[in-house]
Amino acid sequence: MIKRIPALLAAIAALVSFGGAAQAQSFFEGKTVRIVVGLGAGGGFDTYARVIGRHLGKHIPGNPTVIVDNMPGAGSILMTNHLFKVAKPDGLTVGHFNGAIILGQVLGQKGIEFDARKFEYLGAAVKENVVCGLTKASGAGSIESWRAAKAPVKLGGVAPGATPDNSGRILNAALGLPVQVVSGYKGTSAIRLAAESGELAGGCWSWESMRATWRKGLDSGEVIPVVQIVAKPMADIPNVPLAISLAKTDDARKLILVGVQNSSAFARPFALPPGTPRDRVDMLHKAFHATLQDPAFLAEAQKAKLSIDPVTGAEMNKLVADVFTLDAGLLAKLKDALYQK
Amino acid sequence: MLAEMAGAFASGLYQVFTPGTLGLMLVGIALGFAVGILPGLGGPTTLALMLPFIFTMQPAEAFAFLLGMAAVTATTGDITSILFGVPGEPTTASTIMDGHPMAKKGEAGRALGAALMSSLVGAIFGALALALAIPVVRPLVLAFGSPEYFMLAVLGLTFVAALAGDNLLKGLVAAGIGLMFATVGLDPISGAQRYTFGQLFLWDGIGLVPITIGFFAIPEIIDLAVQRTAIARANLGRLGGVMEGVKDTFRHRWLVLRCSAIGAYVGIIPGMGGSVTQWLAYAHAVQSSPGRERFGKGAVEGVLGPGAANNSTLGGHLIPTIAFGVPSGVTMAILLGAFIIQGLVPGPSMLTPESRGGHLGLTFSFVWTIVIANIVTVAICFLFLNQLAKVTQVRGSLLIPPVLLLIYLGAFAEKNAFEDLYLVLFFGVLGWVMEKLHWPRPPLILGLVLGPLAENRLFLSTDNYGMEWLMRPWVLVMIALTLAGAFYPLLKAWMRSREAPSAPRKSAAPRANPNTLFTLILVLALAAALWQSRDFGPRAGLFPWVIGFPVLALAALQLVLELAGKEQRAAMFVPEPGPGIPAPELRRRTAAILGWIVGYPAVIWLLGFTLGGTLCTLLLLKLGSRERWPVSLAMTAGVAAFIYGVFGQALHVPFPPGQAFAWFAG
């Protein structure tokens, strides 16, 4: 333990190291790869990037140094614009942003100056499997009692376009569940707190995160997973109904698919700027997915309770491209569901 | 239960006192010490930069390291605020108000003693509050909903009256302007962009770091450059007053304890960090002490209050983070990341003893870390106070280059956004003009910080409860308190003016001077802001309208008063003439330093931080103040090594490349 202190001091005080072999065997040798996170230090996106960043270097030929930076702003639009327009496509910059803005681009969200179809995706470490958790105290602890609720059931939201907001609104539009999304909470932790104090009935966000942070409520039965907006049930809650199977019409199913379910795979993308040389993209893609299987990485991820459920670059490319081919009618319905009062 | 708590309390102490943990805590303290003293670089930024180092640590080690660092920045930040008039941390800006005048009067020692001692008391109070809160924290916090949070923000705003100094009207206008600045950004709910001028970096609003730095540090630098003296105008004389400051802490023990309580309990509320509590404590010190006209001129109570509060805030801040995983500020958001990395889930398990699978001992180790870190720091400070205070005798020309560099570095490193440098410039000039024209600056900061909280919670309240939230019992209590808080100072001011009506108002001839010009600009800016807000829509527009119209009216009233010659002080737009500096020379020096301040970021933009910062340092030393070559070169080399080595190589701060190189690269 104590021997780490000098190492730390050395790292902090470390001055110039004019490294760099004259003849690099691989492009990446002696270089520094930056993972730029579009959200603040300490958050979920940041943590995934940092844990991956610690192991990524050893899987890239030439073993470059990998560091993680934050460029927060505008819900990661700022960084994503930067990735598209400014960052050099040399394979040394990897962006990590909130994939919700991809749907935002399709729906004409303001401030977006990138084209999500042009990024070179490395994929994702995890999908966002949305589950709605409601408190027992709210009286809407099952689909039946929720449907029968007299007043709209209040679900916490962050801002239009965010996962908790989209999920609540889609449930309302597709399944006709009485829902009032109260938007403006500063993240799912604030929603959780408001639900515990009785201000809200609950909220919908990634099951992995809910399971970890709301453990006690779920174990004690104070908080109940009522519906899951995923393709197949999560392993530990096999009996909680799927939103898609509650849908009665084809339109409703499509809304659930496009509005929540399909976006789960590109919710947390890692991407390279457009025009990055093919061989470097391939090298990084291979390294990224090798990292996700690296036992040392998995041990750290497990310690941090980060679940790993990889999405490949090819899968992501396809899902992103699909969003851009929606027909106008569905698009209008989606926009209506997600952004109208 | 009690035995378990006691056991965990002891186990927490034991965890801190293992050699590895203690060693890492000392490293953290050393870092926090430096970061606190260095202006510009803030605690949260440094915490973020240190995150990569905690992966290989054990939980107790990681938190001893991070908390040790966070715990001392507010203490050592006070030192910079007092000695230089430049905030060492955004959370220590309020210590400047009276601490720096004390330093100028030659009472630096007393001010430092008071700040350090009150910091220690505050920190221990905050840690105790944390320890005592542990068993009761959940029901306590859960009793509060959005309406209560909204009312707390409103209640906080009534403190403006005490921060306004001798001119309540100007104070109200300043607070209103702060609230208007608070509306800048994307309204996430309606999607309306308010005063962003199409700039994405303004979407998240104006960051507190660039504002505080610009607002308080730039005016002081200008002053320093114009006066061409050391910080301490009078000879420091003996620093012997340190013990006097320590005694002051105990002389005003109830004030110190009350301000500690303000820090700890207000710190619990998400969105209210040390940047708010310091001003509330300062305002409380002003209100509760006899002779409020002493404040701003070196009243020791004005140092004790914020000194205690900005330290006790940390303990309060930790409460919702540990108990619910809800971060109450930037520092806590980063600490929450550390929890995740360490595989800890904040929440009930942090409050459950280890014997039942929880981490209560670890939680108590946080308490011990805060206490021990502050004792160590204060002890070290007392040892080095004399050396520290000597810095104020260094000539200003040697201080300005590194301080300017740190300001711009710190502004950039918070969000790795170059645009924040523009904000520093804008608020630097605004702060300078306000200072020269005797506009109180603290109300503006308070409005800026409380505005977003108030708006967010107001809408959450109405969305959740309609209008019924107004009838909640705690809300009613706080409405009563707010009204009392708002009207009491007004009443007092009115009584005072009746008692002493003879104050002969110098009816200066009604004419336009810099004072009226500035007020006119304010009126026009407010009018323009309101005009712009016409198409925000009801949701995004409500706040700008509710604030904008009354503030516009108040600003207009101020303008009328000034035009009618009712303004007592005919403030001059030039610095108070120093001994033997003729007015043209003053103007020349002012223009010169303004040029340097604006030119510095321009050079950084052109050449990048490393090269630009180095070049500016050299130019400032050689051309700006004609220092000798050996001194200039040595300092420049130090600066270059600092930027390149520490920030570029060791911490990997992503400096943008200079624009000039982009041009040459084609």
Tens of pLDDT, residues B423-469 = 999 999 999 999 989 899 999 999 998 998 899 899 999 999 988 89
**CA B2 remoteness from chain centre:** 39
Residue with tokens 């990634």: A206
Torsion of CA B208, B214, B215, B221, to 10 degrees: 150
Query: pLDDT at residue A13 above 80?
Result: no
Which pLDDT does position A22 carry in this prediction?
Answer: 37
Chain A: nearest CA to B618, how far in angstroms? Answer: 21
Examine the fold and report which residue of A263, A288, A312 is the final residue of a domain before the chain moves on.
A263
Which pLDDT does position B118 carry in this prediction?
Answer: 95
Distance separating alpha carbons of residues B339 and B327, to the nearest angstrom:
11
Per-residue pLDDT tens digits for A180-195: 999 988 888 889 989 9
Name residues whose C-beta falls within 8 Å of residue B340's C-beta, 6 or more positions apart in sequence.
Answer: A44, A47, A304, A305, A306
Per-residue pLDDT tens digits for B114-134: 999 999 999 999 999 888 887
Of B237-241, B243-247, B269-273, B529-533, the one with minimum mean pLDDT is B237-241
Q: How many Cα atoms sit within 13 Å of A301 on the Cβ side?
A: 22
Per-residue CA distances from B443 to A170, B177, B262, B528 (Å): 44, 9, 18, 22
Tokens of B111: 């001010």
> Do the chains contact at B345 and A67, CB–CB below 8 Å?
no
Nearest to B328, CA basis, from B284, B271, B283: B271
> Do the chains contact at B51 and A41, CB–CB below 8 Å?
yes
Q: Mean of the per-residue pLDDT values for chain B?
A: 86
Which residue in A has a C-alpha nearest to residue B148's C-alpha?
A: A199
Examine the fold and report which residue of A215, A230, A263 is the final residue of a domain before the chain moves on.
A263
Distance separating alpha carbons of residues B624 and B397, to the nearest angstrom:
8
Is residue A218 less than 8 Å (CB to CB) from chain B? no
Which pLDDT does position A23 carry in this prediction?
Answer: 37
Compute the average pLDDT of residues A207-216.
Answer: 87
Instruction: Say if A108 falls within a structural domain.
Output: yes
Which pLDDT does position B571 carry in this prediction?
Answer: 44
My answer on whether A137 and A256 are in the same domain is yes
- Percent over 90 (pLDDT), chain B: 37
Is residue A183 less than 8 Å (CB to CB) from chain B? yes
Tokens of A128: 């966002």
Instruction: Say if B576 falls within a structural domain.
Output: no
> Do the chains contact at B654 and A34, CB–CB below 8 Å?
yes
Which pLDDT does position B356 carry in this prediction?
Answer: 82
My answer on whether B611 and B472 are in the same domain is no
- Percent over 70 (pLDDT), chain B: 93
Instruction: Say if A341 falls within a structural domain.
Output: no
Query: pLDDT at residue B641 above 60?
Result: yes
Three-state secondary structure string covering A59-122:
HCCCCCEEEEEECCCHHHHHHHHHHHHCCCCCCCEEEECCCHHHHHHHCCCCCCCCCHHHCEEE
Which pLDDT does position A246 carry in this prediction?
Answer: 95
Examine the fold and report which residue of B495, B530, B556 is the final residue of a domain before the chain moves on.
B495
Nearest to B337, CA basis, from A226, A252, A236, A70: A70
Nearest to B162, CA basis, from B308, B311, B305, B309: B305
Of A56-60, A161-165, B380-384, B649-653, the one with minimum mean pLDDT is B649-653
Which pLDDT does position B572 carry in this prediction?
Answer: 41
Indicate the SS3 state at residue B246.
Answer: helix
Q: A22 versus B227: which is more confidently predicted?
A: B227
Which pLDDT does position B234 carry in this prediction?
Answer: 57
> Do the chains contact at A15 and B650, CB–CB below 8 Å?
yes
Which residue in B has a C-alpha nearest to residue A191's C-alpha?
A: B326
My answer on whether A259 and A134 are in the same domain is yes
Query: pLDDT at residue A314 above 90?
Result: yes
Distance separating alpha carbons of residues B35 and B50, to the nearest angstrom:
12
Torsion of CA B299, B305, B311, B313, to 10 degrees: -150
Identify all chain A residues contacting B23, using CB atoms and an 8 Å cutoff.
1-2, 5
My answer on whether B457 and B587 are in the same domain is no
pLDDT confidence of B567, banded at 50, 70, 90? low
Distance separating alpha carbons of residues B63 and B76, to the nearest angstrom:
20
Tell me B105's DSSP state: T
Which residue in A has a C-alpha nearest to residue B358's C-alpha?
A: A216
Range of the domain at A41: 30-126+268-328
Which pLDDT does position A279 carry in this prediction?
Answer: 92
My answer on whether A237 and A173 are in the same domain is yes
Is residue A220 less than 8 Å (CB to CB) from chain B? no
Distance separating alpha carbons of residues B618 and B401, to the nearest angstrom:
9
Instruction: Say if B400 falls within a structural domain.
Output: yes
Identify all chain A residues contacting B17, using CB atoms and an 8 Å cutoff.
none
Compute the average pLDDT of residues B513-519.
Answer: 86
Instruction: Say if A20 falls within a structural domain.
Output: no
Of A173-177, B632-636, B656-660, the one with minimum mean pLDDT is B656-660
Identify all chain B residues contacting A77, using CB atoms and an 8 Å cutoff.
200, 203
pLDDT confidence of B301, banded at 50, 70, 90? very high
State the pairing for strand pair A120-124/A311-312: antiparallel
My answer on whether B591 and B483 are in the same domain is no
My answer on whether A139 and A248 are in the same domain is yes
pLDDT confidence of A196, banded at 50, 70, 90? very high
Which pLDDT does position A157 carry in this prediction?
Answer: 92
* CATH number for A203: 3.40.190.10
Which pLDDT does position A25 carry in this prediction?
Answer: 56
Is residue B140 less than 8 Å (CB to CB) from chain A? no
Is residue B16 less than 8 Å (CB to CB) from chain A? no
Residue with tokens 């976006």: A263
Compute the average pLDDT of residues B94-103.
Answer: 91
Name residues whose C-beta falls within 8 Å of residue B313's C-beta, 6 or more positions apart in sequence.
Answer: B74, B91, B126, B263, B264, B266, B267, B273, B274, B277
Looking at this protein, which amino acid is placed at residue B123? A
Range of the domain at B150: 2-495
**Which residue spans within B123-177 are E strands per DSSP?**
none
Examine the fold and report which residue of A263, A294, A313 is the final residue of a domain before the chain moves on.
A263
My answer on whether A235 and A279 are in the same domain is no
Q: Which of B200, B359, B423, B539 to mutate to test the interface with A (most CBs of A within 10 A)?
A: B200
- Percent over 70 (pLDDT), chain A: 92
Q: Mean of the per-residue pLDDT values for chain A?
A: 88
Per-residue CA distances from A159 to A195, A199, B352 (Å): 17, 18, 34
Q: Which residues of B389-425 are buried (b: 16+ CB within 10 A; e: fewer)?
A: bbbbeeebbbbbbbbbbbbbbbbbbbbbbbbbbbbbb
Which pLDDT does position A247 carry in this prediction?
Answer: 94
Per-residue pLDDT tens digits for B305-322: 999 999 999 998 898 888
Identify all chain B residues contacting A68, using CB atoms and an 8 Å cutoff.
52
3-state helix vs strand vs coil in chain A, percent to 5: 45, 15, 40
pLDDT confidence of B415, banded at 50, 70, 90? confident
Of A127-136, A305-314, B269-278, B439-448, the one with minimum mean pLDDT is B269-278
Tell me B213's DSSP state: I
Is residue B327 less than 8 Å (CB to CB) from chain A? yes
> Do the chains contact at B24 and A111, CB–CB below 8 Å?
no
Which pLDDT does position A132 carry in this prediction?
Answer: 97
Chain A: nearest CA to B61, how far in angstroms? Answer: 9
Q: A298 versus B648: which is more confidently predicted?
A: A298
My answer on whether B220 and B334 are in the same domain is yes
Query: pLDDT at residue B648 above 90?
Result: no
Query: Shortest CB distance from B337 goes to which of A17, A36, A47?
Result: A47
Which pLDDT does position B164 carry in this prediction?
Answer: 84
Instruction: Say if A241 falls within a structural domain.
Output: yes
C-alpha distance across the termini of chain A, in Å:
56
Identify all chain B residues contacting A69, using CB atoms and an 8 Å cutoff.
416, 652, 654
Query: pLDDT at residue B396 above 50?
Result: yes
Instruction: Say if B541 falls within a structural domain.
Output: no
My answer on whether A164 and A258 are in the same domain is yes
Of A90-104, B252-266, B273-287, B341-355, the one with minimum mean pLDDT is B341-355
Query: pLDDT at residue B578 above 80?
Result: no
My answer on whether B614 and B480 are in the same domain is no
My answer on whether A218 and A304 are in the same domain is no
Count: domains in chain A = 2
Residue with tokens 């011990």: B368
Instruction: Say if A186 falls within a structural domain.
Output: yes
Examine the fold and report which residue of B439, B465, B495 is the final residue of a domain before the chain moves on.
B495
CB of B327 closer than 8 Å to CB of B267:
no
Distance separating alpha carbons of residues B445 and B178, to the nearest angstrom:
6
Instruction: Say if B148 falls within a structural domain.
Output: yes
State the pairing for strand pair A120-124/A269-272: antiparallel
Examine the fold and report which residue of B434, B463, B495 is the final residue of a domain before the chain moves on.
B495
Distance separating alpha carbons of residues B513 and B281, to the nearest angstrom:
35
> Do the chains contact at B189 and A184, CB–CB below 8 Å?
yes
Instruction: Say if B267 falls within a structural domain.
Output: yes
C-alpha distance across the termini of chain B, in Å:
71
**CA B351 remoteness from chain centre:** 31
Q: A186 versus B27: which is more confidently predicted?
A: B27
Compute the average pLDDT of residues B199-217.
Answer: 86
Instruction: Say if A105 falls within a structural domain.
Output: yes
Query: Shortest CB distance from A70 goes to which of B48, B348, B650?
Result: B48
Which pLDDT does position A4 carry in this prediction?
Answer: 58
My answer on whether A172 and A277 are in the same domain is no
Per-residue CA distances from A146 to A173, A178, B80, B506, B626 (Å): 15, 7, 58, 71, 77
Query: pLDDT at residue A17 above 80?
Result: no
Is residue B58 less than 8 Å (CB to CB) from chain A? yes
Is residue B237 less than 8 Å (CB to CB) from chain A? no
CB of A76 closer than 8 Å to CB of A65:
no
Instruction: Say if A21 falls within a structural domain.
Output: no
Between residues 37 and 96 of chain A, which touch chain B (CB distance below 8 Å)? 40-44, 46-47, 50-51, 54, 67-75, 77-78, 81
Edge to edge, the sheet with strand A130-135 lists: A179-182, A153-156, A202-206, A130-135, A223-229
Identify all chain B residues contacting A15, using CB atoms and an 8 Å cutoff.
641, 645-646, 649-650
Instruction: Say if B572 falls within a structural domain.
Output: no
> Do the chains contact at B188 and A15, CB–CB below 8 Å?
no
Which runs of consecutive H residues, i.e. helices, occur in B466-582? 473-499, 514-532, 537-563
Is residue A197 less than 8 Å (CB to CB) from chain B? yes
Which pLDDT does position B442 carry in this prediction?
Answer: 92
Count: domains in chain B = 2
My answer on whether A254 and A282 are in the same domain is no
Q: B666 versus A302: which is more confidently predicted?
A: A302
Identify all chain B residues contacting A54, using CB atoms and an 8 Å cutoff.
52, 55
Query: pLDDT at residue A72 above 70?
Result: yes
My answer on whether B624 and B476 are in the same domain is no
pLDDT confidence of B652, banded at 50, 70, 90? confident
Query: Shortest CB distance from B456 goes to which of A16, A36, A184?
Result: A184
Compute the average pLDDT of residues B3-24.
Answer: 88
Instruction: Say if B10 falls within a structural domain.
Output: yes
> What is the number of CB-based contacts under 8 A between chain A and chain B?
196
Name residues whose C-beta falls within 8 Å of residue B536's C-beta, 6 or more positions apart in sequence.
Answer: B187, B190, B192, B194, B544
Identify all chain B residues contacting A213, using CB atoms and an 8 Å cutoff.
325, 345-347
My answer on whether B489 and B607 are in the same domain is no
Q: A31 versus B496: which is more confidently predicted?
A: A31
Instruction: Say if B537 falls within a structural domain.
Output: no
Is residue A111 less than 8 Å (CB to CB) from chain B? yes
